[in-house]
């Protein structure tokens, strides 16, 4: 009995060691793998044990357990540069997780960090489109614990080294604390998965933003125009007048009513609303295809001529925009009106720069997950937007 108990204690200790991220590193390893960003990353040098040279890694990997018994899982997404919109190529993602017993399985033939992380691990490298994917089984929680099931990810950027980001966790896991479901500053972006059963397996999506909320991550040196909340920030309440959409004729807060889902907020500071003809029609079509909970659209007209507007002129301009909405057949897309590009209670709370012609946010559960500034209203931009939204199931 004592021998069995001792082995169990050692086993649990190994699980905790495999799970831990920030701890004191071995001094010898610290010399070989300096921790320059993100803080301590215990055993993260396991990323170098890739079975293939990094330059030969594919963007898709299948972990060893995929063909065993258990709930099959496909995870995919796009890795973005720190701007949250440019796909990042040549980024290595290393993942590992427990088996169906909640253990990090290894054998006498396991080598290196597989003795700690187990044999259920994989490596992928993004291509020019920034995309990655891997197939595996849904891991189990640690035995006799309240620890939610999870997958560990480690990122490697060629010019910056490795660092850990938030674990992949599952939104429907009863062991996942509410605080973990709604992190205000997730490392690398939101790691909460919401799998959907499709084509014989669970499928989930997670986009990753390099350096997002990672301590010590080097700031990009740029003189580009800045505008809007940062990725990861919470979208505040504001009360625009709705000129089309579900709340037409009302003053209603988009975030208060619809922020629980996913959507796009496009703030535009241009007199010529006809520039949005094509994009508005495409957005209306996608709302119908994907469903309002998955894809809600707000086009925020910031009244560029506010300094010369009288109340009568303002009313005439609003009617002109309503007529434009009717011509575009906008029944779902909400075109909303705010008083001016420098209005403190609307543009101000979203930190909109009046020098920008447009500032575009993708939000999920009221949190900014992507952002663009001064975009062209064309199909290329539309495709960038759609990468952030699931299709209607």
Judged by DSSP in three states, 163 sits in: strand
* Domain-embedded: residue 235: no
Of 387 and 126, more confident:
126
Of 121 and 37, more confident:
121
User: Both 356 and 269 in a single domain?
Assistant: yes
* Domain-embedded: residue 226: no
User: 99: domain CATH number?
Assistant: 2.60.130.10
Diameter of the chain measured on Cα atoms: 87
Q: Kindly tell me if the per-residue pLDDT of 18 is higher than 60.
A: no
Predicted local confidence at residue 16, as pLDDT: 45
User: Both 40 and 166 in a single domain?
Assistant: yes
pLDDT tens profile 308-357: 778 888 999 999 999 999 999 999 999 999 999 989 999 999 999 988 89
User: Both 251 and 335 in a single domain?
Assistant: yes
Question: What region, left, alpha or beta, does residue 43 occupy, with left being phi > 0 and alpha being psi -120 to 50 degrees?
Answer: left
Q: What tokens appear for 13 in the block?
A: 């200790």
Of 94 and 36, more confident:
94
Predicted local confidence at residue 23, as pLDDT: 34
* Domain-embedded: residue 265: yes
User: Both 186 and 281 in a single domain?
Assistant: no
User: Both 262 and 338 in a single domain?
Assistant: yes
User: Both 141 and 256 in a single domain?
Assistant: no
Q: Are 253 and 238 in contact (CB under 8 A)?
A: yes
User: 372: domain CATH number?
Assistant: 3.40.30.10
Q: Kindly tell me if the per-residue pLDDT of 393 is higher than 90.
A: no
User: Both 90 and 203 in a single domain?
Assistant: yes
Q: What share of the chain in percent tops pLDDT 70?
A: 89
Q: Kindly tell me if the per-residue pLDDT of 307 is higher than 90.
A: no
pTM for this prediction: 0.61
Of 137 and 392, more confident:
137
Q: What tokens appear for 288 in the block?
A: 């119908």
To the nearest 10°, report the CA torsion of 369, 372, 378, 383: -30
User: Both 283 and 368 in a single domain?
Assistant: yes
**Which residues constitute the domain of residue 160?**
13-209
* Domain-embedded: residue 133: yes
User: Both 260 and 191 in a single domain?
Assistant: no
What end-to-end distance do the CA atoms of the chain give, in Å?
Answer: 52
Residues 6+ apart with CB under 8 A from 337: 240, 241, 242, 243, 301, 303, 318, 321
pLDDT tens profile 156-208: 998 888 999 999 999 999 999 988 887 878 999 889 999 999 999 999 999 99
User: Both 179 and 277 in a single domain?
Assistant: no
Mean pLDDT of 378-386: 90
**Ranges assigned E (strand) in the chain:** 60-62, 72-80, 92-97, 121-125, 131-137, 150-157, 161-164, 168-170, 192-193, 196-198, 201-205, 208-209, 241-242, 262-268, 296-301, 334-337, 358-364, 367-373
* Domain-embedded: residue 6: no
CA distance 120 to 137: 10
pLDDT tens profile 50-68: 999 999 999 999 999 999 9
326, β-bridge pairs:
none
Q: Kindly tell me if the per-residue pLDDT of 392 is higher than 70.
A: no
Among 186, 209, 232, identify where a domain stops.
209
Q: Kindly tell me if the per-residue pLDDT of 132 is higher than 70.
A: yes
Q: Are 199 and 74 in contact (CB under 8 A)?
A: no
Q: Kindly tell me if the per-residue pLDDT of 10 is higher than 80.
A: no
- Number of domains into which the chain is organized: 2
* Domain-embedded: residue 5: no
Q: Is 60 exposed, middle or buried (0-12, 13-18, 19+ CB in 10 A)?
A: middle
pLDDT tens profile 226-274: 899 988 889 999 999 999 999 999 999 999 999 999 999 999 998 889 9
Q: What share of the chain in percent tops pLDDT 90?
A: 68
> Which band of pLDDT confidence, cut at 50, 70 and 90, is reported for residue 302?
very high
* Domain-embedded: residue 193: yes
User: Both 306 and 348 in a single domain?
Assistant: yes
> Which band of pLDDT confidence, cut at 50, 70 and 90, is reported for residue 33?
very low
**Average model confidence (pLDDT) across the chain:** 87
* Domain-embedded: residue 393: no
User: Both 278 and 350 in a single domain?
Assistant: yes
């Amino acid at each position: 009995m004592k021998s069995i108990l001792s082995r169990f204690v050692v086993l649990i200790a190994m699980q905790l060691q495999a799970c831990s991220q920030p701890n004191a590193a071995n001094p010898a390893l610290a010399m070989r793998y300096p921790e320059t960003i993100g803080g301590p990353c215990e055993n993260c040098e396991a990323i170098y044990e890739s079975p293939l040279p990094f330059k030969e890694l594919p963007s898709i990997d299948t972990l060893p357990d995929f063909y065993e018994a258990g709930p099959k899982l496909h995870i995919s997404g796009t890795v973005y540069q720190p701007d949250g919109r440019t796909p990042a190529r040549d980024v290595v993602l290393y993942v590992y997780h427990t088996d169906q017993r909640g253990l990090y399985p290894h054998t006498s033939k396991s080598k290196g960090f597989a003795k700690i992380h187990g044999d259920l691990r994989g490596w992928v490298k993004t291509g020019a489109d920034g995309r990655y994917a891997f197939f595996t089984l849904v891991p189990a929680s640690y035995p006799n614990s309240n620890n939610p099931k999870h997958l560990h990810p480690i990122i490697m950027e060629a010019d910056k080294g490795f660092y850990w980001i938030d674990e992949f966790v599952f939104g429907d896991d009863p062991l996942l604390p509410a605080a973990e479901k709604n992190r205000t500053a997730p490392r690398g972006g939101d790691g909460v998965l919401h799998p959907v059963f499709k084509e014989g397996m669970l499928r989930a999506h997670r986009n990753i933003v390099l350096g997002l909320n990672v301590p010590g991550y080097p700031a990009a040196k740029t003189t580009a125009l800045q505008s809007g909340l940062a990725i990861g920030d919470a979208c505040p309440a504001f009360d625009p007048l709705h000129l089309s959409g579900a709340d037409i004729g009302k003053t209603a807060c988009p975030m208060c009513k619809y922020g629980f889902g996913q959507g796009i907020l496009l703030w535009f500071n241009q007199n010529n609303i006809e520039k949005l003809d094509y994009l508005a029609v495409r957005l209306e079509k996608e709302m119908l295809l994907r469903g309002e909970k998955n894809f809600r659209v707000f086009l925020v007209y910031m009244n560029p001529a506010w300094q010369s507007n009288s109340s009568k002129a303002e009313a005439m301009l609003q009617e002109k925009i309503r007529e434009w909405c009717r011509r575009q057949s906008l029944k779902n897309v909400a075109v909303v009106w705010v008083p001016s590009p420098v209005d403190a209670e609307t543009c101000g709370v979203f930190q909109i720069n009046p020098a920008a012609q447009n500032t575009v946010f993708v939000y999920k559960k009221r949190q900014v997950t992507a952002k663009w500034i001064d975009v062209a209203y064309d199909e290329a931009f539309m495709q960038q937007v759609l990468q952030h939204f699931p299709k209607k199931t």
